[in-house]
Structure 1
Amino acid sequence: MSYRAALMIPVYNHPHYLAALVEYLSQFALPIVLVNDGSNAETSQILRDLAAQYRDVVLVEHAQNMGKGQAVMTGLRRAAELGCSHALQLDADGQHHWQDVAKFLAVSEQHPEAMVIGQPIFDESVPKKRLYGRYASHIWVWINSLSLEIHDSMCGFRVYPLAATLAIMDQVELPARMGFDSEILVRLSWVGVHFENVATPVIYPEQGISHFRLWEDNWELTKMHSRLFAGMLCRLPRLLPQRLKGRD
């Protein structure tokens, strides 16, 4: 399949930046898949208005909130149904540097077999607790993938190679919430997908809305990393020679 990308945004009650984001993305003349993950009436109406206003917008709606991971999976499948080979994901909360979309797409087109992931450059707005939590998760990802190739496992600014990603989604039950971002990267690493890391500014805007549940989601992430660790140990006889060979 020739290279063709879609732009995909999971949305759950993030009304403040949607119109400006879609207006910016419309310049690329690519499908814009908006996934309404059971948002409130205000956000849902904005999404429906955008779908009516822009011909490139494809709106998919969940009847109820199913979690960010499930929203991303829904968006990836819709992008594949549209005949796309890749899907660039952006979050809807205003954290990401939209001006880097062209850079991410260029890197992905140059390396179509790779998973392109954002490597955040944080400013002073980042909450320290969130920053420390990210590093703890990264360490687990490095252990579970037996690789340092994934520089940041939680950034929602990324480009998925759809064939490899959907193959995993069809084989494994992946987390419906926050754990999806990290687990899909580890599993892509296990099947030999290469990663391209792209440095990009990330902020925590004043009107940003976080749906991270401190205790519940950290517990879910702990269980996910434990499960992946067991999976890594099972794959160790195959993975370790591959990793050692890659250092030669």
Structure 2
Amino acid sequence: MRNCFVIPIYNHHETIAATVAALLPYQLPLIIVDDGSDMATKQVLAQLAQQHSLIQLLTLAENGGKGAAVSAGLRHALAAGLSHALQIDADGQHDIQDIPAFWQLSAQQPLALISGAPLYDDSMPRSRRIGRHITHFWVHIETLSRDIKDSMLGLRVYPLATTVALLDRVKLGQRMDFDIEIMVRLYWQGVPVQFIPTKVVYPQGGRSHFNLLRDNWLISKMHTRLFFGMLWRAPVLLWRKWSQA
């Protein structure tokens, strides 16, 4: 296994240095994708890239969304000869201490998508909690199973060859709909999906880029596409479920 980290970032200049510092001890490439950030973030990223040789900085010309940034990072990682990428956010929400468990499970199941199953505290906004429950409901319908425990957390290890092949074949959502859609579509094509419980916090004063109207509209359209995609895949999904019972 040839591992790396992929970190999408958009205007998180306050937290990225701490995230980088926590990941450097793993001595793995850090592919940071600047998704059209402001000048303050670009300055911090340039300083970090100059200080640490493990950092590979990609800069997108304009803000394309989290999905666009992650996709660019995954493609870059595969082109660089790497086999697995752990996607992690730049805003400090994810528990860095759980990362060894992700790499360990990925080594045991190198063909699988390894994702966090989030354990939230009281810092999670109520609106986001309701939105997650709605998405879980639709994902269970779209996969005809309860195998996917969470499809929205951006802490996961991707098997790069399989994932980039999917990105080349299907046009996925480019914003907050990306994490959900890519997991469902990987599941559809038989990629094992494994989950590790992990704590997630919403830092006080943290900056969220979730746009209530735009992203909920994009997620609604995505669920519509996935629902109709499930219909003609239903016989295969049901056969898989019964054969594993």
TM-score where L is the length of structure 1: 0.97
For residue 40 of structure 1, what is the aligned residue in structure 2? 38
Mapped pair 1:106 → 2:104: yes
Identity of aligned residues (%): 49
1:117 Cα offset (Å): 0.6
AA at the equivalent of 1:139 = F
What whole-Å deviation, never above 9, does each CA across 1:113-157 have from its counterpart, x for those lacking one? 110011011011000110110111011111111221111100011
Q: Find 1:115's aligned residue among 85, 93, 113.
A: 113
For residue 173 of structure 1, what is the aligned residue in structure 2? 171
Residues 6-155 of structure 1 correspond to what in structure 2 (within 5 A)? 6-155=4-153
Three-state SS of the structure 1 residue aligned to 2:117 is strand
AA at the equivalent of 1:6 = C
Q: 1 CA distance for matches of 2:155 and 2:209?
A: 17
AA at the equivalent of 1:21 = T
For residue 193 of structure 2, what is the aligned residue in structure 1? 195
1:242 Cα offset (Å): 1.3
AA at the equivalent of 2:188 = W
Three-state SS of the structure 2 residue aligned to 1:212 is coil
Three-state SS of the structure 1 residue aligned to 2:158 is strand
User: Do 1:114 and 1:196's aligned partners in 2 also have CA atoms closer than 8 Å?
Assistant: yes
For residue 228 of structure 1, what is the aligned residue in structure 2? 226
User: Do 1:121 and 1:201's aligned partners in 2 also have CA atoms closer than 8 Å?
Assistant: yes
Q: Find 1:218's aligned residue among 200, 216, 230.
A: 216
What whole-Å deviation, never above 9, does each CA across 1:150-192 have from its counterpart, x for those lacking one? 1110001110011111111011000110111000011001110
Three-state SS of the structure 2 residue aligned to 1:184 is helix
What whole-Å deviation, never above 9, does each CA across 1:174-223 have from its counterpart, x for those lacking one? 01101110000110011101111000000000131101111111111011
Three-state SS of the structure 2 residue aligned to 1:23 is helix
Q: 2 CA distance for matches of 1:217 and 1:209?
A: 16
Q: 1 CA distance for matches of 2:193 and 2:144?
A: 14
User: Do 1:95 and 1:208's aligned partners in 2 also have CA atoms closer than 8 Å?
Assistant: no
Three-state SS of the structure 2 residue aligned to 1:220 is helix
What whole-Å deviation, never above 9, does each CA across 1:46-86 have from its counterpart, x for those lacking one? 11111111001000000110100000000101111121111
Aligned length: 245
Shifted more, 221-230 versus 14-23: the winner is 14-23
Spell out structure 1 runs of 4+ moving beyond 2 A. Answer: none
TM-score where L is the length of structure 2: 0.98
User: Do 1:16 and 1:207's aligned partners in 2 also have CA atoms closer than 8 Å?
Assistant: no
AA at the equivalent of 2:190 = G
1:100 Cα offset (Å): 1.1
User: Do 1:154 and 1:181's aligned partners in 2 also have CA atoms closer than 8 Å?
Assistant: yes
